[in-house]
């Protein structure tokens, strides 16, 4: 059984989720720090109009860095991810305009669910479920419910603290 310290649900726009599923996009960019670590599990929730949980992946690496007042920081990091980010340099710079932090979640062990789990099913199974605006950590009380939905216990079993 594989164990995870953190299990995070990321809300991703359909365009970018499709690129992750195709293997074109191998890093997910964010502007807010997370407590993710190498090997943690991420659940991929695709936002409207899809509104479904479609895949899982493990964190291969995570880079969280403060953006200093000079554009060189953004440019240096762009050269590291430009071929795996799934966005243009202009989109990247626009996204991080006025941001204070770069967060890059590198993807490994991507597993697409055979049957996406729609929002209605998530709400029927998990009391008071709301999809995240950006991301949210699963509570320990929710993990077993997600396991039953995904039907692969080895995919989401948290580490014991």
CB 105 within 8 A of CB 41: no
Average pLDDT of the chain is 87
The 10s digit of each residue's pLDDT in 34-93 is 999 999 999 999 999 999 999 999 999 999 988 765 567 788 889 999 999 999 999 999
In whole angstroms, what is the distance from residue 24 CA to residue 92 CA? 16
Tell me if 21 is assigned to some domain: yes
CB within 8 A of 27, min separation 6: which ones?
81, 84, 85, 104, 105, 106, 107
Strand partners, 118: 52
**Domain of 19?**
3-149
- Whether cis (ω within 30° of 0) applies to the bond prior to 49 is yes
Question: Residue length, the chain?
Answer: 161
What was the pLDDT predicted at 154? 43
Q: How confident is the model at residue 161 (pLDDT cuts 50, 70, 90)?
A: very low
Please give the Cα distance from 75 to 92 (Å, whole number): 10
Residue 85 forms part of a structural domain? yes
pLDDT-above-70 percentage for the chain: 89
Longest dimension (CA), the chain: 48
Q: What is the CATH number of the domain that holds 144?
A: 2.30.130.30
Q: Is 155 exposed, middle or buried (0-12, 13-18, 19+ CB in 10 A)?
A: buried
Give me 83's structure tokens: 């071929």
pLDDT band at 153 (very low <50, low <70, confident <90, very high): very low
Q: What is the pTM of this model?
A: 0.86
Note whether residue 98 is domain-resident.
yes
Whether the predicted pLDDT of 149 surpasses 60: yes
The rounded distance, in Å, linking the Cα atoms of 137 and 6 is: 7
Is 161 inside a domain boundary?
Answer: no
Domain membership flag for residue 154: no
Q: Is the pLDDT of residue 116 over 60?
A: yes
| pLDDT on residue 68 | 66
Q: How many domains does the chain have?
A: 1
> HEC string of 39-99?
CCEEEEEECCCCCEEEEEEEEEEEEEEECCCCHHHHHHHHHHHCCCCCCCHHHHHHHCCCC
The stretch 15-34 carries a mean pLDDT of 96
Label residue 155 by pLDDT band (50, 70, 90).
low
pLDDT at residue 119 above 60? yes
């Amino acid at each position: 059984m594989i164990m995870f310290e953190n299990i995070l649900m990321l809300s991703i726009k359909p365009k970018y989720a499709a690129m992750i599923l195709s293997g074109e996009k191998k890093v997910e960019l964010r502007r807010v720090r997370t407590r993710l670590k190498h090997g943690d599990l991420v659940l991929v929730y695709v936002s409207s109009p899809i509104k479904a949980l479609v895949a899982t992946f493990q964190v291969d690496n995570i880079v969280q860095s403060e953006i200093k007042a000079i554009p060189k920081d953004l440019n240096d990091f762009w050269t590291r991810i430009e071929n795996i980010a799934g966005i243009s340099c202009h989109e990247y710079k626009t996204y991080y305009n006025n941001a204070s932090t770069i967060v890059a979640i590198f993807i490994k062990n991507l597993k697409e669910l055979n049957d996406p789990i729609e929002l209605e099913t998530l709400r029927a199974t998990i009391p008071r479920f709301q999809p995240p605006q950006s991301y949210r950590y699963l509570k320990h009380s929710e993990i077993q419910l997600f396991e039953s939905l995904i039907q692969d216990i080895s995919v989401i079993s948290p580490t014991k603290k």
